[in-house]
Amino acid sequence: MASRCGKPAKLESPSLISYWFTTSQHPYQHHHKDYFPPPGKLNVETVDTAWNHPVYTEAQMRRVQLAHRNATTWSDWVALATVRSLRWGMDWITGYRHREPGQRLPARFAMTERKWLARFVFLESIAGVPGMVGGMLRHLHSLRRMKRDNGWIEMLLEEAFNERMHLLTFLKLAEPKWFMRLMVLGAQGVFFNTFFLAYLVSPRTCHRFVGYLEEEAVITYTRAIEEIEAGNLPDWNKNGTAPDIAVQYWKMPAGHRSIRDLLYYIRADEAKHREVNHTLSNLDQAADPNPYQVTYRDPSRPHPSKGLENLKGAGWEKEEVFK
Ligand SMILES: [Fe+2]
Ligand SMILES: [Fe+2]
């Protein structure tokens, strides 16, 4: 089939995602619309953030690996089964199928830059919810029980902020249209309320759920990186550059600002969320301080930290952190 200009029309698979999750016609460019123009105040240069992102080295980001924490309790199994069901449902609805190395899939499963962006935008709009719900509920708990929280609230809110930065970054690359917006609206309404109620009942299960969700996020970004590195996303290979919002947030060094580099940063964040939430699930939700906010008496012993040093895919056990 040829397009009107005589060039072969770009074959886009007729899967549901290409109709429902329509994004920009030029997903790798970001000059079509400025979602976040600088505030129009004469004396305002920039709006600064309270949360500075730790600097990741390239070697640290390359070392990030897929990981899975074995489910051992009923709470773990509930969390894992929920995540697996959601992943299966999402893949089914969006017509996504993972291609194993060397495997050929029907054309409708080919992942284009636009399809990856639609997936990222939708998932990141969901990923920003749990940290905010957890932080909010712990904040309210601290107020009404008149007790210290011991450092959990700030970190959970920062996680929500970090996920929102992922979303804002992708929105600089893609312009969601009405159907995507509707999907995000509906998903947020359902997910926020469900997670809110679940966190009231069992915060431990909720953190395990997020840990498993982040395992899936690391898988998703690893696959996208592999697709770029295999040359299957030529627009990103040729034209893609990380938007300024990302360069500033992750402090991306010059010469390392491609879309591939960007996905390495985001994947590393997801690996950190995976570790943090599995660790939090291992702790006493009411009594233990946040091990990422603690000053340790013996800092030479390996301990949880905000950067990528000592990254643990399955999280830290309580006994490893607090003796
Ligand atoms: Fe994310
Ligand atoms: Fe995440």
Residue 279 lies inside a defined structural domain of this protein: yes
Contact of 51 with 161, CB cutoff 8 Å? yes
Place of tokens 């969320």: 273
How far, in Å, from the CA of 197 to the mean position of ligand 1?
22
Residue 122 lies inside a defined structural domain of this protein: yes
How far, in Å, from the CA of 213 to the mean position of ligand 1?
10
Distance in angstroms (rounded) separating the CA atoms of residues 175 and 171: 6
Distance in angstroms (rounded) separating the CA atoms of residues 16 and 19: 5
Q: What letter does residue 53 receive in the DSSP assignment?
A: P
Residue 200 lies inside a defined structural domain of this protein: yes
**Parent domain of 119:** 56-69+109-293+301-322
The binding site for Fe cation comprises 124, 163, 166, 214, 270, 273
CATH number, domain of 244, equals 1.20.1260.140
How far, in Å, from the CA of 290 to the mean position of ligand 2?
18
How far, in Å, from the CA of 138 to the mean position of ligand 2?
20
* Total count of domains within the chain: 1
Residue 276 lies inside a defined structural domain of this protein: yes
The alpha-helical segments, DSSP class H, found in the chain are 16-20, 58-62, 74-94, 113-127, 129-145, 152-171, 178-201, 203-229, 234-239, 244-250, 259-282, 318-321
The per-residue DSSP string of 109-161 comes to GPPPHHHHHHHHHHHHHHHTHHHHHHHHHHHHHHHHHT----SHHHHHHHHHH
pLDDT tens, per residue, the chain with 323 residues? 334 344 443 444 444 454 444 444 444 444 445 566 667 776 777 778 889 999 999 999 999 999 999 999 999 999 999 999 999 998 988 888 887 767 777 877 888 999 999 999 999 999 999 999 999 999 999 999 999 999 999 999 999 999 999 999 999 998 888 899 999 999 999 999 999 999 999 999 999 999 999 999 999 999 999 999 999 999 998 878 999 999 999 999 999 999 999 999 999 999 999 999 999 999 999 999 999 999 999 989 999 999 999 999 999 999 999 87
Ligand nearest 166 Cα, by number? Answer: 1
Task: Quote the pTM value.
Answer: 0.88
pLDDT of residue 107: 78
pLDDT of residue 33: 52
Residue 16 lies inside a defined structural domain of this protein: no
pLDDT of residue 26: 46
pLDDT of residue 34: 59
How far, in Å, from the CA of 127 to the mean position of ligand 1?
6
pLDDT of residue 175: 82
pLDDT of residue 19: 46
| Ion ligand 2 residues within 5 Å by Cβ | 127, 214, 270, 273
Distance in angstroms (rounded) separating the CA atoms of residues 154 and 135: 7
How far, in Å, from the CA of 165 to the mean position of ligand 2?
11
pLDDT of residue 106: 81
Tokens at 24, concatenated: 């920009």
Residue 177 lies inside a defined structural domain of this protein: yes
Distance in angstroms (rounded) separating the CA atoms of residues 182 and 28: 23
Residue 258 has φ and ψ, to the nearest 5°, of -80, 170
